[in-house]
Amino acid sequence: MRISLSHRKKLGLTCILVLALSLLYLLYGIGRDANSFLLIYIVQARYKRLLALLLTAVCIGVSTLIFQTISNNRILTPSIIGLDSIYVFIQTIMLFFLGSQQIIKLSSFVNYLLSLAIMIGFALLLFKILFKQQEYSVYFILLCGLVLNTLFSSLSSFFQMLIDPSDFLVLQNNLFASFNAVNTKLLWVSVIIVFLILLLNSAYLSQLDVILLGKDTAISLGLEYDRLIMRLFILISVLVAVATALVGPITFFGLLVVNLAYQLFPTYRHRILLPASVLIGMAALTGGQVIVQYVLSLGTQLSVILNFFGGIYFILILLKESKDK
């Protein structure tokens, strides 16, 4: 089936918006009298942060949409089931047992890979417990996610209370999402990981429309349902782990951009919804960073703004769902 003309126009306009915001972020504040060397220097300093913004939008947009398709619920995100909390817990435990000096000496690449491995392992364990038992409702999954979030948050808070205040400053750098201090070595590793995981699972993404029909219908249409869900959950785990380990936790961003994609592109076809979610995420992150950096003069963090509006949007969705019932 071809993409309708209206959807193609919307996708095209969103692409133009992302391109315009990206150019604005790269070139804002550069005077006309700037020589070529200064221009190249400024662009080189900014394009890596821009790439981090775009990569994060890809990871969170794709992972959230697939997760909502699997759970058949538009208010669930991978963050809600505790993937962000486990990242905070990992960083807290490492600092508590190793100390700030060892953390500083520890290679950022090793820390990155260790966080990725633990988060992916935790996500697969959740899959075994929650999604393997199909009789569990989405409300049970949401309840378990909230409990796990509370558990890991409480454990993290407990160990943080025991950490020396000077060591806690080191921990803060790893806990708060920041696009202004992205490790370029980790950035390129993340790009490769995301590219490979999406390439290896590209054939399975086309089967997301069938998953929406339910397990029994999907199996009757010839899908290996359990194997497919397992592969998609691994994809979700890797994408969320990469985004969180690269820039830190952004809890409600995925919920915000994917539900905006549902509203702007009213269709069930993931061929449209996937690029729409990614493009809306890119526009939101890039535009938000332009405002934070050039309007607010870095007076706040982009993650704070995203979580604030995403949290409000999450509450509005819950209120709307309760009224509909």
Q: What is the pLDDT of residue 32?
A: 65
SS3 state of residue 201: coil
Region class of 30: left (phi > 0), else alpha (psi between -120 and 50), else beta: beta
Domain containing 73: what range? 37-324
User: How many distinct structural domains can be found in the chain?
Assistant: 1
Mean pLDDT check: name the lowest of 71-80, 252-261, 270-279: 71-80
Distance of CA 139 to the CA centre of its chain: 22
Would residue 16 count as lying in a domain?
A: no
Residue 27: inside a domain, yes or no? no
Per-residue pLDDT at 106 exceeds 90:
no
- The values of phi and psi at residue 108, to 5°, are -60, -30
**What pLDDT was estimated at residue 116?**
80
pLDDT band, very low/low/confident/very high, at 283 (cuts 50, 70, 90):
very high
pLDDT at residue 147 greater than cutoff 60: yes
Q: Of the given ranges (39-48, 80-89, 130-139), which has the lowest mean pLDDT?
A: 130-139
Residue type, 142: L
Predicted pLDDT of residue 138: 53
- How many other CB atoms are found less than 10 A from the CB of residue 97? 9
More reliable by pLDDT, 315 or 280: 280
Q: What percent of the chain has pLDDT over 70?
A: 82
Check residue 62 and give its pLDDT: 92
Residue 9 lies in a domain: no
Phi and psi angles of residue 48, each rounded to the nearest 5 degrees, phi first = -70, -40
Task: Provide the pLDDT for residue 174.
Answer: 64
Which candidate, 177, 182, 194, places its Cα nearest to that of 302?
177
| In a domain? residue 135 | yes
pLDDT over threshold 60, residue 274: yes
- Highest mean pLDDT: which range of 39-53, 78-92, 259-273: 259-273
What's the distance, CA 164 to chain centroid?
A: 31
What pLDDT is attached to residue 255? 85
The whole-angstrom distance between residue 105's C-alpha and the CA centroid of its chain comes to 28
Contact between 74 and 65 under an 8 Å Cβ cutoff? The reply is no
Report yes or no on 161 lying in a domain.
yes
Answer whether residue 154 is part of any domain: yes
What is the arithmetic mean of pLDDT over 123-149? Answer: 66
- The CATH number linked to 320 is 1.10.3470.10
Mean pLDDT of 75-87: 76
Confidence of residue 5 (pLDDT cuts 50, 70, 90): confident
Helix axes 5-27, 36-71, angle to 10 degrees: 140
The token pair at 181 is 């201090």
User: How confident is the prediction for the chain on average, in pLDDT?
Assistant: 79
User: What is the distance between the alpha carbons of residues 282 and 136, in angstroms, rounded to a whole number?
Assistant: 34
In a domain, 162, yes or no: yes
